[in-house]
Structures are given as C-alpha cells and as structure tokens.
C-alpha cells in the first residue's frame, strides 16, 4: 500500500469525509446509492484501502453538500 494512504494528512482527509457523512445522517450504503456506486466503494475509501480521484472527490462532496475547496484548504498544513 502506498505510504500516502497512511499519512497523517490522508487520515485527516478521511476523518473529515466520514464526519461529514455521519453529520448528514447517512450510512455508507445511502451515500453509495446517491453516488450510484456499491457500498464497498465508500467503505474502501473511508477505510483507506483506495484513493479517491479528483472527480470522485467532487462527486462525494456534492453528495454531502460540502465545500470541496474548504476541505482541501484544511489539509494544507
């Protein structure tokens, strides 16, 4: 597994996405359904088993009604 999938910054990124999903009251399955993807897609990126590409990230943030730029800005340091 690439080192970047285990970096502190990546863990903060995942924690943020998980928190946003939970704050919306959504399960992984419900978010996956909104995205038109299987539940395993959400489980794998939330568990750090796979990375989200930029377009997937934008789809996830849109489904969560979250500001993608704000999320990325919080990861700078």
Quote the distance between the C-alpha of residue 46 and its chain's center.
6
CATH architecture of 8-75: Orthogonal Bundle (1.10)
The secondary element (H helix, E strand) that includes residue 58 is helix 54-63
Mean pLDDT of 3-11: 79
Per-domain residue ranges of the chain = 8-75
What are the residues whose beta carbons fall under 8 Å from the beta carbon of 14, sequence distance 6 or more? 45, 46, 48
Mean pLDDT of 2-8: 69
Report residue 6's pLDDT band, with 50, 70 and 90 as the boundaries: confident
Does residue 1 register a pLDDT over 70?
Answer: no
Mean pLDDT of 8-23: 96
Mean pLDDT of 16-32: 98
52-73 pLDDT, tens per residue?
A: 999 999 999 999 999 999 999 9
């Amino acid at each position: 597994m690439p080192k970047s999938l285990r970096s502190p910054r990546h863990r903060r990124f995942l924690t943020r996405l998980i928190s946003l999903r939970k704050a919306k009251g959504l399960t992984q399955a419900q978010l996956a359904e909104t995205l038109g993807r299987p539940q395993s897609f959400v489980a794998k990126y939330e568990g750090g088993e796979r990375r989200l590409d930029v377009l997937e990230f934008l789809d996830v943030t849109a489904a969560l009604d979250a500001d993608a730029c704000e999320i990325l800005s919080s990861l700078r340091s």
